[in-house]
Structure 1
Amino acid sequence: MAVKLLQQDIKRYNWYIWRFVIGCIALLSIMILLIAFQVFGPLPSFRELENPKSDQASQVISSDDQVIGKYFVKNRTSVTYKQISPNIINALIATEDTRFYQHSGIDFQRTFSIVLYNLIGKKQGGSTITQQLALNLFSERSRNPFKRILQKLQEWITAVKLERNYTKEEILTLYLNTVDFGAYNTFGISSASRTYFNTTPDKLTPDQAALLVGMINGPGIYNPINHPENATNRRNFVLRRMGEEGFLSTGQADEFKQKPLGLIFHPIDHNEGMATYFRAVLKKEIQKLLVDKEIMKPDGTTPYDLDRDGLKIYTTINATMQQYAEEAQQEYMRKLQAQFNAHWKGISLWKSIPTFKTLLDRGMKRSDRYIALKQSGASDEEIQKDFETPAKMNIFTWRGDIDTVMKPIDSIVYNKMMLRNAMMSMDPTTGYIKAWVGGTNFEHFKYDQVKMGTRQVGSTAKPFTYAVAIDNGFSPCMQIANEPITITGYGAPWSPRSSPTETLPGVITLRTALARSQNWVTANIMDQVKPQPVVDLIKKMGITSTVPPYPSICLGTFNASVFDMTGAYSAFANEGLWTEPTYLLRIEDKNGNVLYNNTPRVVQALNPQSAYVMTYMLKGVVDEGTGYRLRRDYKLMNPIGGKTGTTNDNSDGWFIGITPQLVTGVWTGCEDRDIHFRSTRLGEGANTALPIFALYMKKVYADTKLGVKKNVDFAPPKSGVAITLDCSVYSQQQKGTGEVEKKLDF
């Protein structure tokens, strides 16, 4: 009887258990159906599965196919399956989803045996790689338990859809492109490879792959920079799993475990890397272009987001030449700043610079510190006290940034006394800009001096006046008395000055006058050709700033940018053709579809003969004039033309050099024109700007892969040159003409 009752109880309990199991399965099925019908919220559509949303960094690509920078909210760049090392794939599968190739998105065997797996040491998460991808792409992990259960079921359905729409290789690629590697704004395997090992995903070794895959479960706790011991232990666990799954032999796994982490840590930052000033200018240009050209996504209504949509921006910048330009600047500016500091050592800035207090007040009111204090409601007295109170700060030096303690007002003085520099190099025939150095340090001095800033151009303007004269039949061999001149008819009479120590006495040729930068002869030429034709030529040659039609413009009293001045000189080297300086070639979307193609403007600014004669004139500057130290000090003996420029009080130093294949402009000066070298010997363009050009060109010529040939001269126009360039022949011609005129007069 007791046995019978026991059997009845067992049957009854079995029925309860089965009812509970069936009920759970039914509830689960109903829940899945409700979720599938989107009762608890929308699921990703087929289109969204085909085009999953994930923020992608836009890439700036150089002409030699190097990524020189990115624009991003999340530093993520997609790669293809073939660009991923098998070591990464093996490490991921061994650690995260050993049955990845067997299941269809949901691994029920894995789900029900997860406890057993953990007990025997095969640590596995509850989600498959496909489920993790679903979470990464379409949702964020909820902290609410009930919502998390619903979310888990949504992930199941999405995972199944993903498996139906993508191959296993595509799912692995999507996952590795979207996974978060934690700190330093690092998303995706491409960014992680670059940040932690300065390499690409296809070159990752097994131990490197193990470290990165190990970070996926805990990007914070397994970060190799902040927690190297945790990262090492986690890496070794992944290596052990790779050995257990047959991706490595036991010996190989043990060998890799003994290796140090081997980090080559380089976090990606907008303030770091190559061509920082250029990238900042380019970003504003593209954002404006996308709006002005109404470039939209395929739906026709959504604008592109440069920081999120993974655009590919192809530029004319040559990464190698950019590197050489930055190196040349750093090498010489370090020395020049030392000269400047020694030049001012022991001299009172307050007594020597009458406007110094005004400059400091202006600098203080422009500072972020002042603006923040003002917004907080601080009084002028409180702000002044704050600027007089020592504080911790980071300052720029040519030996590297320094953390120090100093008064904020003293930091403004320090920055005011820092020399600034800008440089641009371009191909005169195509207009393509090869190198762009907009300043000395983007993190500390963000203002771009190549295109955004304008400064007085000084004697670099003189060739424009001579070019108009040549265009009107003047010969470089024409002789003019180098004596004072006063020009009237344009407001107040104008009489240019000429340094007594720099003035050549007597009668000199136009070529010598330009070579030695003689003000009086230049003014004499201006008096003959008149200002308006010179202004017209300057505008044809791409100068966009205001240039008034006054005689003084022949000595460079107007302002212009390095961008415009370098572009203008390119017309001399390109048979009179001004080709718009170009740095953007095209923009593509993340799938390679072309969104924008750039076509530079071309203007015939000068006739080819006049342009060729001007190259002869500008070569005289280097052969026998103010640019001679290119020959003497830097041993650049090949065909080079150029022009130095030094403005009033040595506030600005310029050098623009031309060769048949490259035109390069360099400017140097302080932020404020009232702060400058006190001697022309130190402040002239030949000392402040020319050496950077020289160091850059030496590096470029030494690298034969760049194809910039050293001994190529400017080619004369096919139509020939009617203007006499041989001054001995010209003298005979003039003498003969004079004798004929005397006979006719007789």
Structure 2
Amino acid sequence: MAQSKRNNKFRKKFIKTFIIGVSSVLFIFILFFGSIYIGLWGKVQSKKDLSNIQQSEASEILDSNGEIIDKLYKYNRQSITYSEIPKHLIQALVATEDARFYEHNGVDNYSLLRVFFKTILSGDKSSGGGSTITQQLAKNIFGRNSYGIFSMPVNKLKESIVAKRIEGIYSKEEILELYLNTVPFSGNTYGIESAAQLFFGRTTSQLNLQESATLVGTLKANHSYNPRLFPERSQLRRDVVISQMQKYDYISSAEANKAMAEPIQLNISEKNTFQRQYFIDLIRSKVENILGTIKKPDGTFYDLDEDGLQIYTTIDLKQQVLLEKSIREQVKYLQPLFEAEYTDSSPWTNLDLLQNLAEKTDRYKKWSTKKLSTNQIQDSLMKTRPTEVIVHGETTVLQMSILDSLSHSLKQINAASLSVDPKTGNVLAYVGGVDYRQSKYDIISNAKRQVGSTFKPIVYAAGLKSGLKPCDYISAKEITYTNAKNWNPKNSTSEDDPYLNYSLKYALTNSINTVSVKILEEAGISNTISLGKSMGITSDLVNEPSLALGVAELNMKELAKVYSSLANQGKVPELNFLTKITSRNGKVLAEIETKPSQQSDLNLKQNRILLAMLENVVNEGTAKRLRSTYGLSQDIAGKTGTTQSNRDGWFAAVTPKLVNISWVGFNNQSVSFKSTRLGQGANTALPIFGQLFKDMAKDRGFDPITRAKFTRLTTSQQEALDCEDQKRDGFFKRLFSKDEIEKEFEKKDEKEKKKKGFLNRLFGKKEN
């Protein structure tokens, strides 16, 4: 009897404790859920927010003629309607991701219990995540935040709340449409339409059963089931999807067997806008800054990805397409020639360099924090896996280790090109790199590189301004400058005759280094720097004799302004690429004012003579292949440039209505062309403009640009340029002249400035 009482007492105590425990857990859960529901863990989208999902509209980036350059989306790359989705694709999705989709109201409690008991209590990870398609849609659209150890429960509950609200607003068909338009697929694609076109080269409506099952199969793990990287694994996953379709009676056993017997047949079809993305990023950054100052009538800010804005730019899409093509073809031509020059000891096989680059990667840093041994990290660096790489502009899959990938990236030639209207400063074409997938670094906007001989026209301009004439003669003899660390500038071709003198016109035409240095000495370094600033340079310039040979590190946009001033009678335009932003109903939200041009310190006569000297560079000098190879007979001036060790090749082209600056080099400056023959700007960068202008000349729509003429030279200007290219010292001059091989580089302008300053202070005058 006593035992029975003790058992009853224990039973009551246990039940009481159990009830209290369950009630406590339930109470805590209710409090926790309530805190999420009222937004203490961050915003939970309201029905009003959710009702706007379908109203989201892509913004359009337009060229100067109103043609669409690209669209900016938040949720998807290409949107389709439910009616365009094949029935078997819907069935594959539901059977695999959410078999009870048509039965629940956004949250499948049965699946949650299954996951709870199988995954949490039994440790069965194959039971799935328990998220419905609607919950996954909420995650796709609104993402997840980090809440530390509470991240998973908080995000899951927020998605459950949002999922139920979505189900209360949208039909099942609308939810499926939204889901398939927003879900990420393999290959860094978003939305079923983009995935269908990437992997099978067709629209969603054209997909067959096997193709639909393949794409649905990738949703479980985008990378692991990427059919291009892991075809066998992807096919096994595809067959699981087909089996699920059979299990839920969407297809017969015979249909399933037939579909699974077929191998996956990819037809990779990538939309080639990877060069245009640099400009898209530039536009996005600029427009988002502007929109941050403009509010809608309801007080909220405009959203570039949702509000269907129209972004008007200065780009000429036809010219942009031609420039992209020219760059692709030139790099495709150069790459194998460059690699062939290195028969051994190539930079991209230098293990020390590769190791140094590897240590800067996120993956290496992650391994280091896990306290892996050096040997373990090295083994990981050498482990190969299927990797998507760009080879001659085409995506391919190779078995590569991390070191292999770094080596491949290191040897890739990069190129950039910028075209502007010299009068208005409007950017007409903009290619910031060869391929955005290969490198997202925008050379035009971000890089400063040594510009080589493309700087020389500024030096010659300073010479003209100091009183030198294009037909003045200067010795090409090499000299060592003792006050510049015994610097001994040399010419690319040796000249044995120390008594030979070249005219300024000829020296610029053939880019003779020794003459350029002597002109800088005559004009004065500080005077040259001041003139360069007036012509559009904003970067700091070195106050050294080597400035004459282009050691200055400049941005491409600065060069574009300098050369534009030559075609624009000395007026330096500000570069523009954005004109206005309008709302979806056409209301002007922002109109971008063009800043007025500034006048350079060159007078009109000096400016026109310098331009004529650069025309001679194209007619007879380092850029003459524009005439001989590309058959261009139009009015063109220009200057080639090559930097030390052939790291950078440049070409600056000037026509009456178009200025183009092109660069070819490498992202990592440890790499360079091995020979000047291949790596000089005349061979690397010049062909980009040459092919572009040749293609433009074939299109009569470009006649206003390609048939434009420079202003005629006046009689006095023609006479100033009319002289022999070279002149040898006479007998008496050779007899009595000092054979100078060493000297100090004279900074005459600085001495004169100091002298003038002293006299001004002596007589109490103010210095200008």
| TM-score in terms of structure 2 length | 0.64
Deviation, 1:516, is: 0.4
How far apart, CA to CA, are the structure 2 residues paired with 1:467 and 1:361?
46
Residue number among 617, 640, 646 corresponding to 2:642 in the alignment: 646
Q: 2:691 aligns with which of 677, 689, 695?
A: 695
Aligned partners of 1:485 and 1:523 also within 8 Å: no
Q: In the alignment, what sits opposite 1:509?
A: 503
Task: Report SS of the residue matched to 1:396.
Answer: strand
Matches within 5 A, 1:406-425: 406-425=400-419
SS of residue paired to 1:451: helix
1:603 is matched with which residue? 598
1:672 & 1:208 partners in 2: Cα distance? 40
Match of 1:630 in 2: 626
* 2:675 equivalent in structure 1: 679
Q: Aligned equivalents of 1:644 and 1:369: distance in 2? A: 41
- The question of whether the paired residues in 1 share the 8 Å contact of 2:471 and 2:723 is answered with no
User: Given the alignment of the two structures, is residue 496 of structure 1 paired with residue 495 of structure 2, yes or no?
Assistant: no
Q: Is 1:463 aligned to 2:457, yes or no?
A: yes
Q: Any conservation in 2 of the 1:78–1:177 contact (CA below 8 Å)? A: no
Indicate the percent of aligned positions where both proteins have the same amino acid: 31
Cα distance in 1 for partners of 2:446, 2:267 equals 35
Distance 1:377 1:307, change over 3 A: farther
Distance 1:698 1:273 in 2: 23
Tell me the SS of whatever aligns to 2:394: coil
CA shift, 1:400, in A, is 1.7
Q: Given that residues 274 and 322 in structure 1 are in contact (C-alpha distance below 8 angstroms), is that contact kept between their aligned partners in structure 2?
A: no
Matched, 1:349 2:342: no
Q: Paired residues, what number?
A: 570
Query: 1:316 maps to which residue?
Result: 314
Amino acid at match of 1:570: S
Amino acid paired to 2:436 = F
Stretch of structure 1 that moved more, 553-562 or 510-519: 553-562
Counterpart pick for 1:530 among 517, 520, 524 = 524
Matches of 1:55 and 1:571, distance apart in 2: 44
Q: Map of 1:215-254 to 2, 5 A cutoff?
A: none
Higher alpha-carbon deviation: 282-291 or 643-652: 282-291
Q: CA deviation at 1:406?
A: 2.5
Q: For 2:652, what is the secondary structure of its paired residue?
A: strand
Q: In the alignment, does 2:288 pair up with 1:295?
A: no
Range 275-284 or range 656-665, more displaced: 275-284
SS at match of 1:307: coil
Q: What residue is the counterpart of 2:145 in the other structure?
A: none
Q: Find the aligned partners of 1:450 and 1:143 in 2 and give their Cα distance.
A: 43
CA contact (8 A) 2:463 2:523 kept: yes
Letter in 1 for 2:503: T
Residue 330 of structure 1 deviates from its aligned partner by 1.3
CA distance in 1, matches of 2:497, 2:665: 28
CA distance in 2: counterparts of 1:496 and 1:531, whole angstroms: 16
Are 1:713 and 2:714 matched, yes or no? no
> In 2 relative to 1, CA 60–373 (structure 1 residues): closer, same or farther, beyond 3 Å?
farther
Q: Is the 2:278–2:436 contact (alpha carbons within 8 Å) kept by the matching residues of 1?
A: yes
Structure 1: unaligned runs, 5 residues or longer: 1-40, 92-136, 157-174, 199-206, 231-262, 732-746
CA contact (8 A) 1:575 1:608 kept: yes
Residue in structure 2 matched with residue 448 of structure 1 by the alignment: 442
C-alpha spacing 1:303/1:544, structure 2 compared with 1 (3 Å): farther
Matched, 1:68 2:64: no
Matched, 1:389 2:383: yes
1:295 counterpart SS class: coil
1:328 and 2:322 aligned: no
Whether the 8 Å contact between 1:388 and 1:407 is mirrored in structure 2 is yes
Give how far 1:501 is off. Answer: 3.4
Deviation at 1:209, TM superposition (A): 11
Q: CA deviation at 1:453?
A: 1.3
Deviations along 1:342-380, whole A, 9 cap, x unmatched? 1113x1237xx9x94553233213334324434555444
Determine the C-alpha separation between the residues in 2 that align with 1:564 and 1:376.
Answer: 46
How far off is 1:466 after superposition?
A: 1.0
Matching residue's letter, 1:498: N
Q: Secondary structure at the match of 1:434?
A: strand
Deviations 1:261-303 (A, max 9, x none): xx999787xx945612221233233334444xx2333344x33
Mapped to 2, the partners of 1:561 and 1:314 lie a distance apart of: 25
Distance 1:612 1:390, change over 3 A: same
SS in 1 for 2:660: strand
CA-CA distance at 1:577 after TM superposition? 1.1
- 8 Å Cα contact 1:77-1:177 kept in structure 2: no
Q: Which amino acid aligns with 1:310?
A: G
Q: Write the deviation string for residues 132-155 of structure 1: whole angstroms up to 9, x where unpaired.
A: xxxxx99xxx99999999988877
Matches within 5 A, 1:659-670: 659-670=655-666
Q: Any conservation in 2 of the 1:195–1:265 contact (CA below 8 Å)?
A: no
Q: Structure 1, residues 85-107: CA drift from partner, whole Å, max 9, x if none?
A: xx989x9xxxxxxxxxxxxxxxx
Structure 2 CA distance for aligned equivalents of residues 412 and 680 of structure 1: 25
Partners of 1:621 and 1:643 within 8 A in 2:
yes
Q: Shift in Å at residue 647 of structure 1?
A: 0.9
Distance 1:265 1:365, change over 3 A: closer
Q: 1:143 to 1:496 in 2, by over 3 A?
A: closer
Cα offset, 1:691, TM superposition: 1.3
- Determine whether 1:573 maps to 2:567: yes
Q: Aligned pair in 2 of structure 1 residues 70, 466: CA closer, same or farther (>3 Å)?
A: same
Contact kept, 8 Å, 2:63 with 2:316, in 1: the verdict is yes
Displacement after TM superposition at 1:456 (Å): 0.7
Residue 285 (structure 1) aligned with residue 306 (structure 2): no
In the TM superposition, residue 220 of structure 1 has moved relative to its aligned partner by: 8.3
Partners of 1:497 and 1:153 in 2: how far apart? 79
The answer (yes or no) to whether the contact 2:63–2:315 under 8 Å persists in 1 is yes
Following TM superposition, by how much is the alpha carbon of 1:426 offset from its aligned partner in structure 2, in angstroms?
A: 1.2
The answer to whether the 8 A contact 1:654-1:666 is kept is yes
Paired residues of 2:459 and 2:528 also in contact (CA < 8 A): yes
TM-score, normalization by structure 1 = 0.65
The residue type paired with residue 427 of structure 1 is: D
User: Does the CA-based 8 Å contact 2:503-2:724 persist in structure 1?
Assistant: no
RMSD over aligned CA atoms reads 4.9
The answer to whether the 8 A contact 1:316-1:583 is kept is yes
Report the alpha carbon displacement of residue 487 of structure 1 after superposing the two structures with TM. Answer: 5.5
The range that moved more, 684-693 or 274-283, is 274-283
Q: Which amino acid aligns with 2:598?
A: V
Which letter does structure 2 place at the counterpart of 1:507? N
Q: Is the 1:515–1:617 Cα contact (8 Å) retained in structure 2?
A: yes
Q: Is the 8 A contact 2:75 2:181 kept in 1?
A: no
Paired amino acid for 2:297:
P
Shift of 1:383: 2.1
Question: Per the alignment, do residues 522 and 69 of structure 1 end up closer, same or farther by CA in structure 2, a change over 3 Å counting?
Answer: same
**What SS class does the counterpart of residue 310 from structure 1 fall into?**
coil
Q: Does the C-alpha gap of structure 1 residues 440 and 375 become closer, same or farther in structure 2, counting only changes over 3 Å?
A: farther
CA contact (8 A) 2:75 2:182 kept: no
Contact 1:69 1:274 in 2 (8 A): no
Q: Secondary structure at the match of 1:401?
A: strand
**Per the alignment, do residues 361 and 220 of structure 1 end up closer, same or farther by CA in structure 2, a change over 3 Å counting?**
closer
